[in-house]
Amino acid sequence: MRGATTARTMLAPAVLGVVAIALWQLLVVAFDVAPFLVPSPSGIADAFARSLSHIVDAARVTGLNALIGLVMGALTGILVAILANALRVMSQMLAPLVAALAVIPIVALAPVFYAMFGAAAHTGRQIIAAIAVFVPMYLNTLNGLRQVEPVHRDLMRSYAATAEQANRLLLLPGAVPYVLNGLKIGSSLAVISALIAEYFGGPANGLGKAITSAAAGSNYTGAWAYVLGAVLLGALFYGVTAGIEAWALRRRGGS
Amino acid sequence: MSATRAAVTISGVDKVFRTRKGGEVHALSDVSLEVAAGEFVSLIGPSGCGKSTLMRLVADLDPVTSGTIEVFGKSVEQARKDQDYGIAFQQAGLLPWRTVRANIELPLEIHGVEARARRERSDELLALIGLEDFADHHPDQLSGGMKQRVAIARSMAERPRLLLMDEPFGALDEMTREHMQNELVALCQETGAAVIFVTHSIPEAVFLSDRVVVMSPRPGRITDVIDLSFSSRDEELREDAAFYEGVTAVRSALHGGADASSGPRGVENR
Ligand SMILES: Nc1ncnc2c1ncn2[C@@H]1O[C@H](COP(=O)(O)OP(=O)(O)OP(=O)(O)O)[C@@H](O)[C@H]1O
Ligand SMILES: [Mg+2]
């Protein structure tokens, strides 16, 4: 049952993807579109295969920044949400700050961070990814911590459970689906932020820098090959976190 | 009854809920009741007469508006902190991410009982509620009655001197219900626990109780207390003439206590 449903849900987008790429190839060839406007899928695939080892190296650099940012942002998001849930004042104080973080494009801070940490360090990129991840992690976790059923609250009170026990045994397990959803959203944001931050300077061995320098050197098909690498990196992050979410929810036995 | 000390003493208790719109609900009015150690007392009455509210006050889950409640001679807060009671709510209230066994062990875990002792106790309780085969299942794989049984086992996990049970058998089929009633009787004789037991079933109240407290609504108050001094509670009692007398006495108290026009609602006569 589950296998059949999964196959069907995956088949439709796969078919759509194949059709779209075929159509793209057809149009580029039929109208003889110049590569600097839109390169053909086969051209991109060619360039991708040719510079595969460089793409993988660059993806490692960007991926590591994104991963460090994801972990830092996720941990701080969860911790701050636990504190904010325990102290009402704190959540009220944080509300405008989080709203600001949610609307300010954090990558715009990249030049500032390069000035702070030096142009040779990746720290600024990791911090940018962390801040981008922090927002959905904080909001989702806080929301999850607040989904406590009154009867469970009563139960903990009847056991004279400490705040620490109530957090560990009731609030946090109850928030797990929300936390994992936040992590899934955060994973894509981490990759995007780490990548875009490279456009503003810093060490030149990442995917973002590879895209800009290929484009600057009029190697448009090459630039697209690096974009494809970035797409795959984002898909990897999303796939892994979505997999963790599905696995954890199945293991914990519904709700 | 070898009652030496009161388990619960409720004196002149009023409970008024203030609703968000500024209204007031007078849930309990001048309620006084003493439950001796080891005594089994049932609360029966139409829906909304304040049975759950009274239980929550004893459990220190809500504060009284006026009057006093003592549990084993202590304030309700102290009794709660000392874990003097076990409670089973009207809803099972199991934690969905914990297995049946882990749900039963929850209070033991919170109070620092070591893993092996926890497991021994949960084995006993699983056998008691007849769910040994479901120990590793999650609550969403259980029927409503099975969930309720797990909640009952959880309330008994620490062998409390006082059990507060809010319609614990409401979701059970008749067979399981009678089985659980017999088990509860045996358990109380064994442990000498006092029980405050909310039910909508007159025969259940009569079968289980030393005394049946009849309540009526708007405002919730005690209208009658019926003494039942059966010498023993076994299967034969269910067929006994004294049992049927008890049922009749509770039924007429319920009818007498309610509005003459509407009669009691939410009370089963089975
Ligand atoms: N938290 C609350 N806020 C406001 N009113 C409440 C609250 N809890 C209970 N009440 C009111 O108090 C009265 C008694 O409620 P309670 O739940 O104690 O009744 P009950 O006897 O347990 O009924 P049932 O048999 O249906 O469970 C009802 O009128 C109810 O609306
Ligand atoms: Mg009730």
* B143 Cα: distance to centroid of ligand 1 (angstroms): 26
Of the partner residues B87, B91, B138, the one whose CB lies closest to the CB of residue A158: B87
DSSP A56-92: HHHHHHHHHHHHHHHHHHHHHHHHHHHHHHH-HHHHH
Domain presence at residue A33:
no
- Which residues of chain A lie closer than 8 angstroms to B96, CB-CB? 252-255
- Which residues of chain B lie closer than 8 angstroms to A157, CB-CB? 60-61, 80
What confidence category does residue B267 fall into, taking pLDDT thresholds of 50, 70 and 90?
low
Cα distance from N-terminal residue to C-terminal residue, chain A: 20
> Residue A5 has what pLDDT?
66
Domain presence at residue A152:
yes
Domain presence at residue A34:
no
Residue with tokens 């004196």: B11
Pairing type for strands B74-75 and B24-36 reads unpaired
Residue with tokens 């704190």: A90
- Which residues of chain B lie closer than 8 angstroms to A170, CB-CB? 95
Write out pLDDT tens, residues A11-67: 877 888 888 888 888 888 888 877 777 788 888 888 888 888 888 888 898 999 999
CB contact under 8 A, A154 and B140: no
Q: What is the CATH topology of the domain spanning B6-84+162-257? A: Rossmann fold (3.40.50)
pLDDT for residue A119 is more than 90: no
CB contact under 8 A, B111 and A159: yes
Domain presence at residue A32:
no
What is the count of structural domains for chain A? Answer: 1
Of the partner residues B81, B106, B140, the one whose CB lies closest to the CB of residue A253: B140
Domain presence at residue A27:
no
Quote the ipTM score: 0.83
> Structure pTM?
0.77
Instruction: Please give the helix or strand (H or E) that residue A185 lies within, else none.
Output: helix A172-197
Tell me the three state secondary structure of residue B56. helix
DSSP A114-177: HHHH-TT-SHHHHHHHHHHHHHHHHHHHHHHHT---HHHHHHHHHTT--HHHHIIIIIHHHHHH
Residue with tokens 């309700």: B76
Domain presence at residue A221:
yes
What confidence category does residue B58 fall into, taking pLDDT thresholds of 50, 70 and 90?
very high
Taking the Cβ of residue B109 and every Cβ of chain A, the question of whether any pair is shorter than 8 Å is answered with: yes
CATH number of the domain enclosing A243: 1.10.3720.10
Q: Which ligand 1 atom is at minimum distance from the Cα of B46?
A: 25
Q: Where are the domains of chain B?
A: 6-84+162-257, 95-159
* Domain span holding position A150: 39-251
Q: How far is CA A134 from CA A125, A179, A189, in A?
A: 14, 11, 10
pLDDT over 90 percentage in chain A = 24
b/e code A58-78 from CB counts within 10 Å (16+ = b): bbebbbebbbbbbebbbebbb
Mean pLDDT confidence for A144-172: 89
Find out whether A208 and A198 touch, Cβ atoms under 8 Å. yes
Identify the nearest ligand to the CA of B48 by its number.
1
CB pairs under 8 A between A and B: 61
> Residue B182 has what pLDDT?
84
Q: Which long-range contacts (CB under 8 A, 24 or more apart) does A200-203 make?
A: A200/A107, A200/A110, A200/A111, A200/A114, A201/A110, A201/A111, A201/A114, A201/A119, A202/A110, A202/A114, A202/A119, A202/A120, A202/A121, A202/A122, A202/A124, A202/A125, A203/A61, A203/A119, A203/A120, A203/A121, A203/A122
> Residue B1 has what pLDDT?
41
CB contact under 8 A, B107 and A254: no
Find out whether B136 and B100 touch, Cβ atoms under 8 Å. yes
CB contact under 8 A, A160 and B85: no
